[in-house]
């Protein structure tokens, strides 16, 4: 498997930000890490290996970025307002730096699908819904879609505007809604085992349904826990059967 590590100084985040690439061809899959993890997390936990047949076969080219969670919602001593600022800077980093990097590494016509597990699922869904003009779809695994699950009681308008379960019911911008509705790849996946929250997935699917947005909700059984074996099974299956 071809593997490349790159980095650049991010204007949005004011630091060097690394990115990993796997493969040569196919649609672009952008992986967002879980809670406090980095750009090599999906490699360490063997999820990249589980995608190897699709990567080596030219079906997908994978990109994996660092999170900013330890300097936003996972930072125990930071004020909530500053956490929200860093969260929004991360969003801008993805939109203004990572997506152009992916397009330059592939082509302007290459579809970009964002994916993540756990906190990465919330980030991935939020990124897609905010910029469906840049991101073509999402595979969200084991997510909750309300940022208040992570904010330890802090709430402001930025928490609202980064919580898909909160802002989507009130979204009325016809242009953005039509862009979201035009996606054929909104996949919401969850298990029912330990530490999973299938009700969060079902509730969010209901919000999309009420907005006339096509989606796929896949609820796996009690044997599928909130852990890497679940995600190593889910993601390759959906890439194999839905793309």
pLDDT of residue 81: 87
Residue 243 has a CB neighbour count (10 Å cut-off) of 17
pLDDT of residue 77: 83
Range of the domain at 180: 3-242
CATH of the domain at 151: 3.40.50.1820
Q: Number of folded domains in the chain?
A: 1
Residues in CB range of 153: below 8 A, 6 or more apart: none
- Reading the block at residue 53, the tokens are 């047949």
| Chain segment 105-115, per-residue pLDDT in tens | 999 999 999 99
pTM of the model: 0.96
Low-confidence ranges of the chain (pLDDT < 50): none
pLDDT of residue 73: 85
- Reading the block at residue 219, the tokens are 């609820």
User: Whose CA is closest to 143, among 40, 45, 215, 241?
Assistant: 215
């Amino acid at each position: 498997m071809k593997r490349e590590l790159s980095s650049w100084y991010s204007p949005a985040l004011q630091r060097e930000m690394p990115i990993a690439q796997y493969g040569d061809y196919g649609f672009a899959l952008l992986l967002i890490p879980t809670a406090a993890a980095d750009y090599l997390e999906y490699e360490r936990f063997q999820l990249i290996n589980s995608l190897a047949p699709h990567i080596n076969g030219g079906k997908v080219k994978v990109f994996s970025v660092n999170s900013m969670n330890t300097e936003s919602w996972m930072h125990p001593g930071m004020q909530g307002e500053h956490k929200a600022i860093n969260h929004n800077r991360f969003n801008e980093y993805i939109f203004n730096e990572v997506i152009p990097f992916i397009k330059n590494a592939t082509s302007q016509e290459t579809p970009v699908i964002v994916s993540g597990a756990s906190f990465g699922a919330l980030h991935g869904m939020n990124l897609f819904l905010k910029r469906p003009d840049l991101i073509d779809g999402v595979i969200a695994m084991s997510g909750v879609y309300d940022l208040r699950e992570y904010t330890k009681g802090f709430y402001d308008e930025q928490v609202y505007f980064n919580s898909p379960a909160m802002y989507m019911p009130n979204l009325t911008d016809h242009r953005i809604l039509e862009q979201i509705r035009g996606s054929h790849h909104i996949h919401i996946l969850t298990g029912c085992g330990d530490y999973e929250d299938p009700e969060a997935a079902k509730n969010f699917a209901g919000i999309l349904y009420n907005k006339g947005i096509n989606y796929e909700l896949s609820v796996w059984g009690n044997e599928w826990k909130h852990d890497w074996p679940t995600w190593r099974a889910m993601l390759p299956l959906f890439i194999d059967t839905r793309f």
